[in-house]
Amino acid sequence: MKNLFVKILFLVFISQFVYGQISPGDLSNAHKDLEGMSNCTKCHALGEKVENNKCLDCHKEIKATLIAASGFHGSADVKNKECIECHSDHFGRNFKMIKFDKDKFNHSKTKFELTGKHKVIKCEECHTSKFIKVEKLKEKSNTFLGLETNCESCHADFHQGTLSSKICSDCHNTEKWRPAPKFSHDKSKFKLLGSHKKVDCEKCHIKGMKKGKEFQKFTGLKFKQCLDCHKDIHKGKFGTNCEECHSVESFKNVKNIKSFDHSKTNFKLVGRHQNVTCNKCHTKGITLKLKYQRCSDCHSDFHKGEFKKKNKTDDCSVCHNENGFTPSLFTIANHEKAEFKLTGSHFAVPCNACHFVDEKWKFKFQAINCELCHTNIHKTSLNYTNGIIKNCESCHTTEKWNEIKFEHNKTKFALIGRHNNVLCSKCHFKDEKLKHQFVTVSTNCESCHTDKHAGQFIPKYQNDCSTCHSPESWKIENFDHSKTRFVLDGAHQKVKCAQCHKPIEKEGNKLIQYKFEDISCKSCHT
């Protein structure tokens, strides 16, 4: 009995060892559910080691690739090989049944040769569950199965189904998506010509968002007219057919320039502008936008800023028009609005008489006075300090030089009597013609008048003509003979002056004798 117990104990003891002989080691993690003696034949065929069929009964995805001769397992390298040759087991839980040098793996054996960017990226970037469509394979971590070779199986359709072709490789290669190297615009309805070839795709194919994703429009674009893409800077003035004037080479190369109707622009060519060659104004190219609102945008300021007011210059058009710079459009009426209003004879004066100074046109003057244009012929002959004469206008008007408005009565010599009727020149133009004398002219009568009496009253009556004469007349009306040495009385009061004062000739001068040395009777009476 005791012996039997020992034997049973022994059998129990060695039974563990026996199981050990059946399983040569732990299965890998992937196969851990197959541990146990009852599962041996799920992989092992009795007498036949491990058969492919056993493997493929479970690994249907591999079986499918073998049948379809797709992927790496469908390649000649794998064909006719036993699964166990590459994928063994019973090497412990941590054993990796799939092991290969990812860097050296010849991907072309999978019938998907890695080219371009595909060569650079990591395996896991493609071999990830999100690109696997088969649900069962999705669940498997680190699987290299389940990918399709078409681009869209991994890459999102950036075009969101808007393109007619669904084959990415028609336009793209694996080097880079942008720009699509295999795409030829010539195959499209809009061939790229001229400068269109140099334009960035995004210029026409605008990037934006569609359905919450980045999107670039390549279809459904209008392209029949230039204006479908280009902005009409002419705002419709020249119609919609840009090609009448422009070519695809460049907007700057304008054709049919001679027939160009400038009047359709904002700047109609008028007057002499019509005869100017285009490049005179369009110096930097015919299509370059020009300033044209002011003449000075093209023309240099002939007047060199003379008309600048508070840093602003009146436009030339105030005085000129397209018909020429001369004659000026500046009218007398305009001049009336100027600081110096035209009056009197100035109306008749040509512009250049005043404004053409020293061979130059001059319109801006420091101070405006008569002497700016007129020569002061009086020079020092006038006294400007006495408050009577301030400037030319104290005496002259713009009507005539000769018309003197001078108030002579303010002077020391008020014009009385016949003096009012005497020409100025009678007194002030002496000796030489146009030699004016004003302050130098004496107020004495003899400074103007000739002493007809040949000095008979000198020295007693010198310069005192008024003793006998008045400014009204030379006639003696008020002479009081009684104040003389010879008082008139009696019959003398009735005697005419000439009866006593008779003309004589003295020293060659004919004169009437008023002064007598001898006043005795006999001097008159015989």
Partner 1 sequence: MANKIHQTLVFLAILIVIATFVTLWFWGGDYYLLPLSEKFYHENHKILKSSGLIGHGLGIIGSVILTFGVVIYIVRKRVKRFQKVGKLKYWLEFHIFLATLGPLLILFHTAFRFGGIVSISFWSMVAVVASGVIGRYIYQLIPHNIDGNELSQSEISKLDFNLRITLQEKYKISTEIINKLEEATSNTNREIKISGLVLYIIRDTLHNRKQLKYINTFLHNANLSTEDKKEVLRLSKTKLSLSRKIVLLDTTRRLFGYWHVAHFPFAVIMFVIMIVHIVVAFTFGYKWIF
Task: Give the interface with partner 1 as residue ranges (CB under 8 A).
Answer: 10, 13-14, 16-26, 40, 44-49, 88, 91-92, 94-96, 99
User: By C-beta, is 57 or 243 nearer to partner 1?
Assistant: 57
Within 10 angstroms of residue 217's Cβ, the number of other Cβ atoms is 15
CB 15 → partner 1: shortest distance, Å?
Answer: 10
User: By C-beta, is 25 or 417 nearer to partner 1?
Assistant: 25
User: By C-beta, is 20 or 116 nearer to partner 1?
Assistant: 20
- How far is the C-alpha of 81 from the C-alpha of 65, rounded, in Å? 14
User: By C-beta, is 24 or 490 nearer to partner 1?
Assistant: 24
User: By C-beta, is 3 or 311 nearer to partner 1?
Assistant: 3
User: By C-beta, is 94 or 375 nearer to partner 1?
Assistant: 94
User: By C-beta, is 10 or 474 nearer to partner 1?
Assistant: 10
How is residue 62 written in tokens?
């591999």
Is 123 in contact with 144 (CB distance < 8 Å)?
A: yes
* Greatest extent of the chain over all pairs of C-alpha atoms, in Å: 231
CB 22 → partner 1: shortest distance, Å?
Answer: 5
Helices first, then strands: H and E counts in the chain:
14, 8
CB 18 → partner 1: shortest distance, Å?
Answer: 5
According to the 3-state scheme, what is the secondary structure of 117-176? HHHHCCHHHHCCHHHCCCHHHHCCCCCCCCCCCCHHHCCCCCCCCCCCCCCHHHCCCCCC
Task: Count Cβ neighbours within 10 Å for each residue of 309-331 and write b for 16 or more, e otherwise.
Answer: eeeebeebeebbeeeeeeebeee
Number of residues that make up the chain: 526
- How far is the C-alpha of 121 from the C-alpha of 174, rounded, in Å? 11
Residue 23 CA, chain-centre distance (Å), reads: 91
Report how far apart, in Å, the C-alpha atoms of 442 and of each of 411, 439, 460 are.
Answer: 12, 8, 19
